[in-house]
A = this chain, B = another copy of it.
């Protein structure tokens, strides 16, 4: 089953850039810990495609595209090989990586939500699926590396922009289904949603804007 977006060349480029970026940053985390090339490839693959695998399992679309789609798998394995050689250069590309990672966050959220709606789920389920696609890859990467997942630990906007992206995708898909505008406009809106996610994520990191924690009542960290 294909979402409307998959016919969109710009969107496909963004999504492949996102997969590449997740693969590179996942592989880099494994390189920094000194693991072997197989661990690097495994972490690259799971960072980039683990979210989609979990989404597909939850939707009953098995075997998941993350293990059947040759294009995506080749890109993730290639990203692992690249980072095994070019890790010093990639380490230095902090801001480019941030932008492409944010592209992944946005395109995975949009695509995950749209794919779930195509499978006929309700709106809430579709939002869960968009979030899972966007967030679970990084979560599995951190579980494999035995560290607290970034989505839990990092207070910068990460899950929040992806949630906003999922909600907007739901609204735009529903509006298009009700005939408010043609599919072509929906595609442009989806690109705008990805751009918004990227901008929100970058603003949060650039200006160090954090998601608030629990209300501080002087006992939060006491056991």
Contacts and interface: CB of A to CB of B under 8 A. Distances in A.
Contact of A35 (B30, B58, B152): B152
Copies in the complex: 3
Given A40-B214, A67-B58, A214-B83, A88 B35 contact: no
A149 B140 CA distance: 12
Contacts of A35: 152-153, 155, 213
A188 interface: no
B144 A146 contact: no
A152 B34 contact: no
A152 B32 contact: no
A176 interface: no
A210 B36 contact: yes
Interface string A202-223: 0000000011111101111111
Contacts of A64: 58
Interface stretch (A117-125, A167-175, A191-199): A117-125
Given A35-B153, A146-B147, A125 B221 contact: no
Given A32-B223, A124-B68, A211-B38, A149 B144 contact: yes
Nearest to A64: B58
A72 to B, nearest CB: 11
30 contacts: A31-B214, A32-B223, A33-B221, A35-B152, A35-B213, A36-B210, A37-B212, A37-B213, A38-B151, A38-B160, A40-B214, A57-B62, A58-B62, A58-B63, A58-B67, A59-B63, A60-B63, A68-B122, A68-B125, A70-B124, A73-B124, A84-B213, A85-B214, A85-B215, A88-B218, A88-B219, A91-B222, A145-B152, A146-B147, A146-B149
A122 B121 CA distance: 28
